[in-house]
Amino acid sequence: MPELPEVETVKRTLNQLIVGKTIEQVDVRLRRIIQRPEEPDEFALLLQGQTFHGVDRRGKFLLLRTDDFTLVSHLRMEGRYGVYDKNDPMELHTHVVFHFTDGSELRYKDVRQFGTMHLFPKGTELNEQPLKKLGLEPLDETFTLDAFIRKLEGRTTKIKPLLLNQEYIVGIGNIYVDESLFAAGIHPEREAGSLSRKELAALYEAIIQTLNDAVAAGGSSIKSYVNGQGEIGMFQHQLQMYGRKGEPCQHCGHEIEKTVVAGRGTHFCPKCQPLKRKNARKAGA
């Protein structure tokens, strides 16, 4: 699934490709992609004649801005956008096509068909699902150390699933949680409330650094991710934990292990990320 760096890359690419283009018509080829309004025909009619003015991101969601509406798009597992000439062959699994007045088209493809689109009157999108309950935005200026600590302090939940919970912090998926926890030296099964302020500060910095590095590299192409121009990301070549089970840790040389935490495959170095149990510390261990 595309995570924050990949969605940020798609956002930046679409801003280069579709801003200023006016929609002549919309062709919805798979009804269930459209979640709001209920009728795809209404979705298409509302967007007819609208011009794209910019693309923003909230967590893993794209926010495509038009004159009167915000189109909230979630790529889920394998959704992708691309801009084509109207005469280009229509590829398989193309489910929504935005036909522009200049003869080009924005096409949404989704092999797994899990992606969604919600259309809201401009300015109302943050007050409704799926954006209403989203947590802190880790690349935003509001993501301060104090705000981060307030979200985590006192929580008995293991730190990895808490970081994956989009109601706490948005956009950080499995890849970047593993990488951030390694960079901070924190075991993925530590209770969030057991982390000291120093450890939380290290994790806070690691999240920001990891995500910024990934955005700079265009994201990670682990399976099928490409940006709006069909280009793959390159951050997978910088991964130090994710997908490296059995390999030596680049920091200490210890063998990288893989376990399952909250149902997610999890990579960690047992030497660099020791599991310090809260009750053990109370006993003086």
Task: For the beta carbon of residue 8, count every other beta carbon within 10 angstroms.
Answer: 23
- Please check if 112 is assigned to a binding site: yes
Residues pairing with 36 in the sheet? 118
Q: Which of 223, 219, 259 is nearest to 235 (CA)?
A: 219
Q: How far apart are CA 175 and CA 6, in angstroms?
A: 11
Q: Are strands 34-36 and 116-121 parallel, antiparallel or unpaired?
A: parallel
- Please check if 155 is assigned to a binding site: yes
DSSP string, 219-267: ---SSS---TTSPPP-GGGG-SSTT-TTSBPTTT-PBPEEEEETTEEEE
Instruction: Determine contact, residues 16/82, Cβ cutoff 8 Å.
Output: no
Distance (Å) of CA 56 to CA 13, 85, 234: 11, 24, 22
Cα–chain center distance at 266: 18
Instruction: Determine contact, residues 117/72, Cβ cutoff 8 Å.
Output: yes
Catalytically active residues are: 2-3, 60, 264
**Which amino acids are annotated as binding site, given as ranges?**
93, 112, 155
**Which amino acids are annotated as binding site for DNA, given as ranges?**
93, 112, 155
